[in-house]
């Protein structure tokens, strides 16, 4: 099948997460108290453990497009997510206290890369064939 992003190469066979795995805990994954899904074996010979993960899908994009989006994910993970999750203070952010909240304001991030990262998640949901994302539709005129 043709890659829907570049429209020049064939989609790969690698299963990839629609929503990055780093968000699993916030979405109720393996280390969370919330369970995303429990898959019970259909046959007695199958693994009887409960499996928890966020949705993956095979063949969404070609290998090169997958790689390019993984670069965006890596940038976000290192420069935004890790800083926000860290309990240790460093010089990459300022703490701002509001009336009912405290937030970290990050310095020295490329907002265009962060924006592309978020857009890539929305796009993956849009092109996914999984039931979980069937209502994630982008107007084709915007693509």
Using a 10 angstrom Cβ sphere, with 0-12 exposed, 13-18 middle and 19 or more buried, the burial of residue 16 is middle
pTM: 0.74
Task: For residue 126, give the H/E element and its range.
Answer: helix 111-127
Residue 31, classed as helix, strand or coil, is coil
For residues 11 and 62, the answer to whether their CB atoms sit within 8 Å is yes
Domain ranges of the chain: 61-143
Q: Count the alpha carbons within 13 Å of 28 in the hemisphere toward its beta carbon.
A: 6
- Minimum mean pLDDT among 22-31, 77-86, 132-141: which range? 22-31
Using a 10 angstrom Cβ sphere, with 0-12 exposed, 13-18 middle and 19 or more buried, the burial of residue 106 is middle
pLDDT in tens, 80-92: 888 888 877 777 7
Residue 50 is predicted with a pLDDT of 47
Give the span between the Cα atoms of 16 and 109, in whole angstroms: 26
pLDDT cut 70: percent of the chain above it:
80
Tokens of 132: 């979980």
């Amino acid at each position: 099948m043709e890659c829907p992003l570049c429209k020049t190469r064939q989609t790969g066979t690698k299963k990839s997460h629609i929503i990055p795995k780093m968000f699993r805990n916030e979405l109720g994954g393996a280390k969370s108290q919330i369970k995303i899904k429990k898959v019970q074996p259909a046959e007695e010979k199958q693994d009887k453990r409960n499996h928890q993960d966020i949705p993956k899908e095979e063949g969404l994009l070609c290998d090169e497009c997958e790689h390019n989006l993984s670069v965006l994910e890596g940038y976000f993970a290192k420069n935004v997510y890790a800083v926000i999750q860290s309990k240790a203070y460093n010089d990459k952010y300022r703490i701002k206290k509001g009336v009912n909240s405290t937030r970290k304001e990050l310095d020295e991030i490329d907002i265009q890369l962060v924006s592309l990262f978020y857009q890539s998640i929305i796009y993956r949901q849009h092109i996914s064939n999984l039931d979980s994302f069937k209502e994630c539709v982008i107007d084709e005129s915007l693509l």
